[in-house]
Structure 1
Amino acid sequence: MAPFCLGQQEHVIAPPAPAVAPVAPVTKTQTPERVPGPATHALTKTDAEAWLDGFFPYALQRGDVAGAVVVVVKDGAVLLQKGYGYSDVGERKLVDPERTLFRPGSVSKLFTWTAVMQLVEQGKLDLDADINTYLDFKIPPRQGAPVTLHNLMTHGAGFDEVGGLLLIYDPRELHPLREELKRWMPPRVTAPGSIPAYSNYGADLAGYIVQRVSGEPFEAYIERHIFVPLGMKFATFRQPLPDMLASCMSKGYPLASGDPKPFEIDTTQPDGALSASGGDMGRFMIAHLQNGAFGASHILKEATAVQMHTTAWEFLPPL
């Protein structure tokens, strides 16, 4: 048989057709025969670990990356968590998935939004109210429309993303959140709710509102109402790090072959100051995948979590 090539047609001389009655053509109302798909294979810890062990050592070496942590969750539980490489290259200190802290950056915002939704379900915040209701300084309207918490959470407040000194290294330069928000208030460039545009400032406003309405410092609120219920013992928004966690912090290597950078301080904590271990991030992930539940604990009611997870902008259909 000649080899098959895509785009190539093979000309075949067909034998004479047998003398049988013609078959009626398939009509549009007939259901075509369903072709069964490939058999599925349930994800197991053994399979996941085999793939990760084959990929990550190679990826770290090729990318000159010091270390990494992976957490896989399934059916409301951790299937696998594992560290690769080093948290301190010089000391040859291995990454511990349960204790080594990393900086997840803007994933910090999910904790801020969770805190907002906790206060919404308690009736202390209204997603559709003018945020000036909760602030002790004013955010001016744009085209006659005020900014709401819903606008902040969907990155639709209309702020220009300009920012100020987002990252510093000297803790003496860190100022209270209110001062930073007033100092670096960006211009409004679009009407609220009209165009989505990523905004660190919007997340920081939301965190400050959590602080004002709850009566607790933002970092303390997150600890008490999210970290403690989920058993997240290796997570903090505090800067500098508390003494009990400082030794767990992975050093920040731009390249594993180079020198580490000092601990970065986010001048506006709610948008990106989190330090957390992979294990603790797995707990938070499970809670959201289960609509607020983690074991016997709840950080959100199911209806609140569903509301939080609902798509707000859909300019393009999902992939």
Structure 2
Amino acid sequence: MAYLYVCVFLFILTVNKSVSSNCPSRQWIEESLNNSYVPGAAIIVVNATHILYEEAFGYHSLLPPKWIDIERSIFTLASISKTFIATAVMQLVEQELVDLDTDINQYLLEPDHRIFHPNYPTYSITLRKLLSHSSSIAVDENIQLGLYRLGDASFEEATLAEILFKNVNPYTSSWLPKPPGSVSFYSNYGSSLAALVVERMTNVSFDQYVKEKIMKPLQIDITQVGVRLADFTNREDIVKHYAYALNASHLNAWTEGMPELNVTPFSNNFPTWLNIPLFGFSAYPAGLFRMSAQSLSRFLQMFINNGSTVLSSRSIAEMKLVVGNGLIPLYDPDNILSTADIPQTNFGLSWYWQTLSDRHRYICHSGSVPGSRHWMLVNEQHSIGIIFLSNADSNVPNDRSRQLHKSLESIILPLFRCFESEMIK
């Protein structure tokens, strides 16, 4: 893929001497990122007890130029945030405050806002269905995109409960024509509804619960974790969001599709970088937690270490278990997915299993919001985990996501092979 890249965007070439010669070189990774329009990225490889590899590539900010920092650069995690929801829910399960298969209306305690499928009212909506994306909740994508607001304005417009009860109720069209539990359909609002259950059962806002009950036990500095921009004393620590526009149609797609974000080009000539201002949205648990790659690596180590100080090994096993034994099909009425080059996916609780191009299975979660593209994976042996966080965009043009996915696979899979072989020695 051709890539016009002026000298200010070239990456510094350094060598991590601790890495085996069998691992992909820094130079090769940089070339792959350049070819995929990735301004900056942080990559970390961990096992249950140690960081095995950590490298920062490229730019935290293009103008003014600022390098990615593994420890200090704060990324908007996008849908990787959902893994915190399952962790919080399983903590409440361990305390016998909630049950995965009980109707959530017993926990929401809202007689005037009951959640049920309008065509299948006898099919309960449960935490298991919410976390495994099998609740049949399908809020229109245009509604979700229309809720993006610059800065922290979205938090001033509506609470988490208000936005969920408005868009997920039996009097809207936000439902699939299938009974809950019968099909899988990725649902941001379903995940956020599970987070609302945590709020109701603990009387603590979900973001504060995550800080106190998940981050603190992992010895993560909670002043460097948040969802609102106001949570951070220095906003310059937050990684800037970018997209790359090859032509005017790419810019038009942003300005027409998401005018609320006020996306602006660096220059009037194409190709050019687009600046995406920092933003928020009310259904924040599904995709707006912000932290550094190094902080996130402690959370991933907890998962690999069978819960560590946060969860029991039984809860980790429950999260990894494929809901419905792999027999719940993806909702695909038009057979669009049958011809798409996408990995096979089976949902556990927030986490999901994918079979990648090396034919190995990984339990993982990816994340994508405007100007951010991430991936967090653990191998089937549950021994090695990899985090890839970046300020690349995979939304415009439409085929960008698939191209970037292939590029990330070409980086991540060799890293797995490298460190898996090192463990065998």
TM-score scaled by length of structure 2: 0.60
* CA deviations over 1:263-286 (Å, ceiling 9, x no partner): 021221111011121111111111
Evaluate the alpha carbon distance shift between residue 94 and residue 48 of structure 1 in structure 2; reply closer, same or farther with a 3 A threshold.
farther
Alignment check: 8 A CA contact 2:306 2:313 kept:
yes
| RMSD, matched Cα | 2.3
Matches within 5 A, 1:96-245: 96-135=69-108, 136=110, 137-141=113-117, 142=120, 144-163=122-141, 164=143, 165-174=146-155, 175-185=158-168, 186-233=174-221, 235-245=224-234
Matches within 5 A, 1:1-319: 45-47=18-20, 51-135=24-108, 136=110, 137-141=113-117, 142=120, 144-163=122-141, 164=143, 165-174=146-155, 175-185=158-168, 186-233=174-221, 235-255=224-244, 257-293=272-308, 298-313=309-324, 314-315=326-327, 319=359
Give the unaligned 5+ runs of structure 2: 1-16, 169-173, 245-265, 267-271, 328-343, 347-354, 360-425
Secondary structure of 2:53's aligned partner: strand
Secondary structure of 2:41's aligned partner: strand
Shift of 1:247: 2.1
CA distance in 2, matches of 1:217, 1:48: 47
CA distance in 1, matches of 2:224, 2:100: 28
Alignment check: 8 A CA contact 2:192 2:284 kept:
yes
Evaluate the alpha carbon distance shift between residue 215 and residue 48 of structure 1 in structure 2; reply closer, same or farther with a 3 A threshold.
farther
CA distance in 2, matches of 1:245, 1:170: 14
Paired letter, 1:139: I
Evaluate the alpha carbon distance shift between residue 213 and residue 144 of structure 1 in structure 2; reply closer, same or farther with a 3 A threshold.
same
Secondary structure of 1:87's aligned partner: strand
CA distance in 1, matches of 2:87, 2:284: 15
Identity %: 27
TM-score scaled by length of structure 1: 0.79
Secondary structure of 1:47's aligned partner: coil
* CA deviations over 1:43-85 (Å, ceiling 9, x no partner): x942279624122221233233211000011353111111110
Secondary structure of 2:46's aligned partner: strand
Which segment is superposed worse, 236-245 or 215-224? 236-245
CA distance in 1, matches of 2:176, 2:204: 29
CA distance in 2, matches of 1:48, 1:286: 25
Shift of 1:101: 1.1
Match of 1:29 in 2: none
Alignment check: 8 A CA contact 1:60 1:85 kept:
no
Give the unaligned 5+ runs of structure 1: 1-43
Alignment check: 8 A CA contact 1:81 1:278 kept:
no
Evaluate the alpha carbon distance shift between residue 239 and residue 156 of structure 1 in structure 2; reply closer, same or farther with a 3 A threshold.
same
CA distance in 1, matches of 2:183, 2:287: 23
Secondary structure of 1:51's aligned partner: coil
Match of 1:17 in 2: none
Secondary structure of 2:240's aligned partner: coil
Alignment check: 8 A CA contact 2:164 2:193 kept:
yes
Secondary structure of 1:187's aligned partner: coil
* CA deviations over 1:187-240 (Å, ceiling 9, x no partner): 353212111111111101001111110111111000001111112227534212
- Report how many residues are paired: 272
Evaluate the alpha carbon distance shift between residue 72 and residue 120 of structure 1 in structure 2; reply closer, same or farther with a 3 A threshold.
same
Runs of 4+ in 1 over 6 A off after TM superposition: none
* CA deviations over 1:274-311 (Å, ceiling 9, x no partner): 11211111111111011111xxxx11011111111112
CA distance in 1, matches of 2:23, 2:180: 48
Alignment check: 8 A CA contact 1:159 1:190 kept:
no
CA distance in 2, matches of 1:60, 1:266: 29
Structure with greater proportional strand content: 2
* CA deviations over 1:239-262 (Å, ceiling 9, x no partner): 124232522111101139524211
CA distance in 2, matches of 1:113, 1:248: 27
Secondary structure of 1:152's aligned partner: helix
Paired letter, 2:199: Q
